[in-house]
Structure 1
Amino acid sequence: MMRRLPVHLAVAVSLAAVCGCSTPSERRDAATAAARHYAQAVRAGDWAMACAALAPTSREELEQAGKSSCPDALGQEELPDAGEARHTDVHGNQARVVFAQDTVFLARFPSGWKVTAAGCHEQAGDEPYQCEIKGR
């Protein structure tokens, strides 16, 4: 005997598959994983892998400022060893992952989460974060 899903459940499942919807915890886990991937590449000095984790505007800004390819420019930056991830905040398609010695900002693209800013340190008062790597 074949069981049938109620129509509203079948439609919801179909829409979730089409829109790529995810739960808040899935978005948080994916953003954390992307930030960790970037941090591990930096720790290992794998600048090509770290560059692949950057958002397009962040990569372009780094190349223009360093007047060289992304891996060469990134290798010249004094980026901290991020340490352990402490917590992740996700707001829509934006995320912030706070590590022990770094804060990384990300945005969600069709290809997944990409780093928009890194090497960030919180400033006093209401001042924005100061970041070594950032996009426009």
Structure 2
Amino acid sequence: MRTAVRWAAVLVVLAGCSDVHLPEAQQVASDFAAGDPVTRCDLLTEAAVRAVEHEEPTGCPVALEELPLGAGGVVSAQVWGQEAQVQLTDDTLFLSRTADGWRVAAAGCEASGQGRYDCLVEGS
């Protein structure tokens, strides 16, 4: 499974910067990067899990195990309202704040120019 989805950085610029939630978003990104496939699936948004399972019917953990997702440390993070972008040493993650806290909405993202990203995992 290798799907490419475009994320526009302007989508995450919804409101003023919110430093209050920055540590929480960074922690979820760190947990995702360090996690095994089951832990990573637990940290995805519901939409991202559905998208992954649509591509790989055997389940989210199997699908994520096959993808070259980053496992590096947090380099930088930005939070805009209910959305965040976290740059790892080897990946870019997009997070959304849900009723369950911060969850990864897109992972395996690489900049493709003009503020756009191609992502291996994405849930709208």
Which range, TM-score by smaller chain?
A: 0.7 to 0.9
Moved over 2 A (4+): 23-26
Query: Which runs of 5 or more residues in structure 2 are unaligned?
Result: 1-16
Maintained 8 Å contact 2:37/2:64: yes
Structure richer in strand, relative to its length: 2
Would you say how many aligned residue pairs link Structure 1 and Structure 2? 108
Maintained 8 Å contact 2:70/2:88: no
SS of 1:26's equivalent in the other structure is: helix
Task: Report the counterpart of residue 33 of structure 1 in structure 2.
Answer: 27
Structure richer in helix, relative to its length: 1
What is the Cα-based RMSD across aligned positions, in Å? 1.5
- % same residue: 30
Task: Report the counterpart of residue 128 of structure 1 in structure 2.
Answer: 116
Q: Which has the higher contact order (CA 8 A, sep 6+)?
A: 2
Q: TM-score, normalized by length of structure 1?
A: 0.74
Query: Which runs of 5 or more residues in structure 1 are unaligned?
Result: 1-22
Q: TM-score, normalized by length of structure 2?
A: 0.81
| Residue 95 (structure 1) aligned to one of 65, 84, 95 | 84
For the pair shown, the structure with the greater C-alpha radius of gyration is 1
